[in-house]
Chains A and B, each alone.
Chain A
Amino acid sequence: MVEITLNGKKVEARDGETILDLATREGIHIPTLCHHPAVEPTGACRMCLVEFSMNNGPKKITSSCTLVPEPGMVVETDSERVHQNRKSVLELLMARVPGNPELVKLAKESDARLTPRFPAMKEDCILCGLCARVCEEVVGAKAIFFTNRGTELDVGGPFLESPEDCIGCGACVYVCPMDCIKMEQNAETRKIVKWDRELPMRKCETCGYPFMPNFQVLRFKKWADMPGDYFKICADCRK
Chain B
Amino acid sequence: MEKATTPQALLQIIEKHEKARDPNAVRISVCGGTGCKASGAGPLIEAFRKEIADRKLDVEVISTGCHGFCERGPLVVLHPTGVFYQKVKIKDIPEILEKTLDKGELIPRLQYRDENRQVYVKEKEVPFYKDQERIVFAMNGHIDPTRLDHYLSMQGYRALATVLAKHKPEEIVEMVIKSGLRGRGGGGFPTGLKWKFTREAEGDKKYLICNADEGDPGAFMDRSVLEGNPHLVLEGMIIGAFAVGASEGYVYVRNEYPMAIEHLQLAITQARELGVLGQNILGTGFSFDVKINRGGGAFVCGEETALIASIEGRRGMPRTRPPFPAKKGLWGKPTDINNVETWANVPYIINRGVDWFTSIGTGDVSKSPFGGSKGTKIFSLVGKVNNTGLVEVPMGIPLRKIVFDIGGGIKGAKKGRTFKAVQTGGPSGGCIPDKYLDHPVDFDELSKLGSMMGSGGMIVMDDHTCMVEVARYFVDFLKEESCGKCTPCREGLRRMSEILNRMVRGQGRTEDLAVLEDLGAVMKDASLCQLGSTAANPVLSTLQYFRSEYENHIATGLCDGRQCIDLIRYHITDACTGCTICAKKCPTQAITGENKQLHVLDQSKCVRCGVCYDACNFNAISILSGTEIREKLGE
CB distance from A100 to the nearest CB of B (A): 14
Contact with A along B473-503 (1 / 0, CB 8 A): 0000011111111111011111101100000
B354 interface residue (CB < 8 Å to A): no
What B residues does A129 contact at CB under 8 A?
A: 485
Taking a contact as CB atoms under 8 Å apart, the answer to whether B491 and A93 are in contact is yes
Interface string of A113-150 (1 = CB under 8 A from B): 00001110000001101000000000000000110111
- In the bound complex, do residue A149 and residue B481 qualify as a contact, i.e. CB atoms below 8 Å apart? yes
Shortest CB-to-CB span from A111 to chain B, Å, is 15
A199 contacts the other chain (CB 8 A): no
Interface contact A150-B528, CB-CB below 8 Å: no
Instruction: Give every chain A residue within 8 A of B519 (Cβ-Cβ).
Output: 88
Pick out which of these stretches binds chain A: B181-189, B247-255, B318-326: B318-326
B107 interfacial contact with A, CB 8 Å:
no
CA distance A68 to B321 in the complex (A): 10
Interface centre among A62, A117, A151 (most CB of B within 10 A): A151
Q: Secondary structure at chain B's binding surface: helix, strand, loop or mixed? A: helix
Q: Within 8 Å of chain A (Cβ to Cβ): is B165?
A: no
Q: Does B298 contact A (CB under 8 A)?
A: yes
A81: CB under 8 A from chain B?
yes
Tell whether A127 pairs with B320 under 8 Å between CB atoms, given A63-B528, A118-B495, A149-B298. no
Q: B487 touching A46 by the CB < 8 A rule?
A: yes
Task: Please report which residues of chain B, range 293-341, place their CB below 8 angstroms from some CB of chain A when the two chains form the complex.
Answer: 298, 300, 315, 317, 319-320, 322-323
The stretch from A37-45, A156-164, A182-190, A204-212 touching chain B is: A37-45
Interface flag for B397 (CB, 8 Å): no
Q: Within 8 Å CB of A44, what residues of B?
A: 485-487, 528
Question: Is A95 at the interface (CB under 8 A from chain B)?
Answer: yes
**Residues of chain B with a CB closer than 8 A to A43's CB:** 319-320, 486, 528
Q: Decide if A237 is an interface residue (CB 8 Å cutoff).
A: no
Query: In the complex the two chains form, is B479's CB within 8 Å of A145's CB?
Result: no
Across the interface, A92 reaches (CB within 8 A) one of B300, B322, B495, B521, namely B495
Pick the most buried of B480, B484, B487, B527: most chain A CB atoms within 10 A of its CB. B487
* Interface flag for A235 (CB, 8 Å): no
The reply to whether B319 and A127 contact each other, CB–CB distance below 8 Å, is no
Say whether A148 contacts B484, CB under 8 Å: yes
Q: How far is the CB of B497 from chain A (nearest CB, A)?
A: 7
Shortest CB–CB separation between residue A229 and chain B, in angstroms?
Answer: 38
Q: For the complex, what is the distance from the CA of A149 to the CA of B492, rounded to whole Å?
A: 14
Does A5 reach chain B (CB closer than 8 Å)? no
- Given the known inter-chain contacts A44-B485, A149-B300, A150-B479, please indicate yes or no for A118 contacting B498, CB distance below 8 A: yes
Q: Are A92 and B491 neighbours in the complex by a CB distance under 8 Å?
A: yes
Asked whether any CB of chain B lies closer than 8 Å to the CB of A85, the reply is yes
Contact with B along A63-105 (1 / 0, CB 8 A): 1001110100000000001001100110011011000000000
Q: Does B515 contact A (CB under 8 A)?
A: yes
B46 on interface, CB distance cutoff 8 Å: no
By the criterion CB–CB under 8 Å, are A153 and B528 in contact?
no
Is B495 within 8 A of A93, CB to CB? no
Would you call A49 an interface residue if the criterion is a C-beta within 8 Å of the partner chain's C-beta atoms? yes
Once the chains bind, are A95 and B522 in contact (CB under 8 Å)?
no
B25 contacts chain A at the CB level, 8 A cutoff: no
CA distance A148 to B481 in the complex (A): 10
* Interface: B526 (CB within 8 A): yes
The reply on A169 being an interface residue by CB < 8 A is no
Residues of B contacting A93 in the complex (Cβ-Cβ under 8 angstroms): 487, 491
Tell me, in angstroms, the Cα distance from A67 to B320 when the chains sit together.
8
Bound-state CA distance A150–B498 (Å) is 14
Which chain A residue shows the least CB distance to B482?
Answer: A150
Top 6 nearest A-B pairs by Cβ distance?
A: A153-B484, A88-B522, A92-B491, A66-B320, A150-B482, A151-B494
Identify the A interface with B (CB < 8 A): 42-46, 49, 61-63, 66-68, 70, 81, 84-85, 88-89, 92-93, 95-96, 117-119, 126-127, 129, 145-146, 148-153
